[in-house]
Amino acid sequence: MLQLGTTSLTIVGVVAAIAVACLLFAVVLRRQVLAAADGTARMRDIAAAVQEGAAAYLNRQFRTLILFAVVVFALLFLLPGDAGVKIGRSMFFLLGAGFSAAIGYLGMWLATRANVRVAAVASKPGGRTEGAQIAFRTGGVVGMCVVGFGLIGAAAVVLIYRGEAPAVLEGFGFGAALLAMFMRVGGGIFTKAADVGADLVGKVEQGIPEDDPRNAATIADNVGDNVGDCAGMAADLFESYAVTLVAALILGKAAFGEQGLVFPLIVPAIGALTAVLGVLITRVRGNESGLAAINRGFYISAIVAAVLSAIAAFTYLPATFAELPGVGEGLADNGGDPRLVATGAVIIGIVLAGVILWLTGYFTGTTSKPTLHVARTSQTGAATVVLSGIGVGFESAVYTAGIIAAAICAAFLLSGGSVVLALFLIALAGCGLLTTVGVIVAMDTFGPVSDNAQGIAEMSGDVTAEGAQVLTDLDAVGNTTKAITKGIAIATAVLAATALFGSYADTVSNSLAELGETVSAASGFTAALLAYEIISPITLVGVILGGATVFLFSGLLIDAVTRAAGAIVFEVRRQFRDNPGIMTGDVRPEYGKVVDICTRDSLRELATPGLLAASAPVAVGFGLGIGPLAGFLAGAIATGVLMAVFLANAGGSWDNAKKIVEDGKYGGKNSPAHEAVVIGDTVGDPFKDTAGPAINPLIKVMNLVALLIAPAIVMVSVGEDANHALRLGIAVAAAAVAFGSVVMSRFRAARVDADARLEQETQLV
């Protein structure tokens, strides 16, 4: 077993201390946010309804997810391996899941209290500066929690398990990723069902403003912003943080030995310190755009992180590969300087984050040509708005994927052609990107807080015209920051998945070595199961199935939003029909009924995507072999990056095109152009806030499942203990779970359609 020296253990202890300091800083920021005035009595009443709905939803969701966590906890014990490692992996699976849930809940709790404070300060002198600061520091609290919990979890595993840490960390990352995917899926369905239902009936049919209190779906819409964009995205970014660390530590041990197990912790620890800097220096100056202030804070903290990471590399790592104890095979003869290649990899990740920030802002910002083009097409109707947004999404996906691919190629060039080193450098690039994650999370939370603030202000009517414009501007900035963080999140996902892909190959090789087998020694059908060559037909089948799974997953989520939104439409229509006093303001809408429908439908739809993500790799791996499973992962990564960016950026461009028209362009509010962009925004809602973001945890969950089951696949596929009957039995059972969940989803859809027809017939009568 690899042993860690005194210096390394001391460094890991310092990393843990930095993590604790981040959590303490989060407490300080939280107090600053809550110290702000919380507005008028009407504002507080609306905010209280949002707080109650968000807390009720998450509490019910967590009760549902406990069952999944317990089942997976037990299943992890069935995997082969040392008893101590299995216990640690299962226990840290629960810890990772618990951290993911806690961060999501903390983000939601504070955001639902910060929104009313942003609304309250909007009408005051300097309201733009103070409002932006409250929203950003709310995100800073969540960002510090992400960094703190991620580093504490990883450092604790390294301190306890030393050389066995990578195997235990698989459980930690899997727990974080699985919970994040469920929270992303459930929150995404909730928020977009409410948003779409509110827009279709309120803005399109009744011609009332977006957050008009007469619309029964407005409270649910504001609740959804918090359970989807705050809780869901916070959990998503935490699992990106955790999974990237997992991949970096696994590959670091294989490539650099002891230093490779410690240096990937040093880089995010530096990022934690620079995140504090980024949060503190982000201030709106005068009348400048909030986005300009956020970008300035991001780039300054990124530059400082790059410099400090270089100093750390030259301080901790030796000058030659030969001086690294436990260096990977073939690397001892490498004539390069590990300090330079490690620094280069970290800088690649930091630059990647900055480039994606700029690129996503270009394709989705309110002042950029692509979004202005989408807004301009509103003059010819909804169809051209939808078509132009789809075009923006497709084009932006290509550029983003190309930039991520270039970053991976740059890491490979730094490695001098060594695959082992290249994979570790890709993971280090992910760690470099993580140095900005504290600011990234703050940017993301800024969006829903400012969106909620605008809604509370409009529903209360207690904000001046100038204050309303301040909130509109902050909301537009929030739309862009949300799109940016989604772009950075998918970049992190691809780097982590690529690194995990390398970890998968390393795990397979180690498992074969333990059985005294090699891929080259296999023959016949067994050789086909082990073949990684893309020219192999069965491996190509794995690639196709991986890409198809991403499409199926996305389709299920969009369809789930469609069904849930349909139920909201019928309910809001019913309330307008049965209570004419709602439109005159004499009768208060039944907000709670809409919240209940969103909660019920989102939790009902939660299981199908999760079961698909967990069972599809099992079915492919045990059914077709480790080679086709590698192809499956490659297909999912390639398709996932394109699909996720397409969905996120198309949705972001439609949303901000709506903002442009609502600001007075092409006829302004209640014009034909406005109706067209509202339709475009409605189409984009499940794209950018449900299906697109959920692909990030999907590809990492599938990679981690593959990593965990690889030794078991090898065990039943090759050697004297090969059991093809058992292998195929497991594959059939997993396939039955995957397809069974999809079939059940179709049955639910049929029932919903039947209920909708009955409701429509009742309304006609």
**Interior/surface letters 501-510, b for 16+ CB within 10 angstroms, e for the rest:** bbbbbbbbee
545 has pLDDT over 80: yes
What is the arithmetic mean of pLDDT over 711-716?
A: 83
Compute the distance between CA of residue 58 and CA of residue 556 in angstroms, rounded to an integer.
22
Note whether 456 and 43 are within 8 A (CB). Answer: yes
pLDDT of residue 744: 77
d(CA 510, CA 181): 29
With respect to residue 1, please indicate whether it lies within any of the assigned structural domains: no
Does the residue 74 lie in any domain?
A: yes
Please, which residues have CB within 8 angstroms of residue 68's CB and are 6 or more apart in sequence? 178, 182, 610
Give the pLDDT score at 471.
81
Per-residue pLDDT band for 551 (boundaries 50, 70, 90) equals: very high
User: % helix / strand / coil in the chain, to the nearest 5?
Assistant: 85, 0, 15
In a domain, 564, yes or no: yes
Q: What is the pLDDT of residues 293-320, one digit of tens each?
A: 888 888 888 899 899 999 998 998 887 8
pLDDT of residue 515: 65
Between residues 203 and 435, which one has the greater pLDDT? 435
**What pLDDT is recorded for position 330?**
60
Q: What is the mean pLDDT of the chain?
A: 82
pLDDT of res. 524: 54
Q: Is residue 599 part of a domain?
A: yes
pLDDT band at 376 (very low <50, low <70, confident <90, very high): very high
**Angstrom distance (rounded) from CA 713 to CA 373:** 51
Q: State the average pLDDT over residues 442-456.
A: 81
Which structural domain range is residue 23 located in? 6-764
Q: What local confidence, expressed as pLDDT, does residue 483 receive?
A: 72
CA distance 714 to 287: 62
User: Do 627 and 390 form a contact (C-beta atoms < 8 A)?
Assistant: no
Is the Cβ–Cβ distance between 617 and 702 less than 8 Å?
yes
* pLDDT value at 343 more than 80: yes
DSSP label at 325?
A: T
The per-residue pLDDT for 720 is 67
pLDDT at 635: 92
> Using one digit for the tens of pLDDT, what is the confidence trace for 662-674?
888 888 887 888 8
Task: Please check whether residue 238 lies inside any domain of the structure.
Answer: yes
487 domain residue, yes or no: yes
Residues 604-617: pLDDT tens digits? Answer: 777 788 888 889 99
Q: What is the pLDDT of residues 205-216, one digit of tens each?
A: 777 776 777 888
Separate counts of helices (H) and strands (E) for the chain: 24, 0
What's the structural domain count of the chain?
Answer: 1
pLDDT tens sequence across 247-290? 888 888 777 777 878 888 899 899 888 888 888 887 777 677 77
pLDDT > 70 in the chain, percent: 92
Average pLDDT of the residues in 323-351:
76
Residues 6 or more apart in contact with residue 178 via CB below 8 angstroms: 68, 69, 72, 97, 610, 614, 697, 701
3-state secondary structure 343-397: HHHHHHHHHHHHHHHHHHHHHHCCCCHHHHHHHHHHHHCHHHHHHHHHHHHHHHH
Selected residue with higher pLDDT from 370 and 587: 370
| Contact present, 428 and 248 (Cβ < 8 Å) | yes
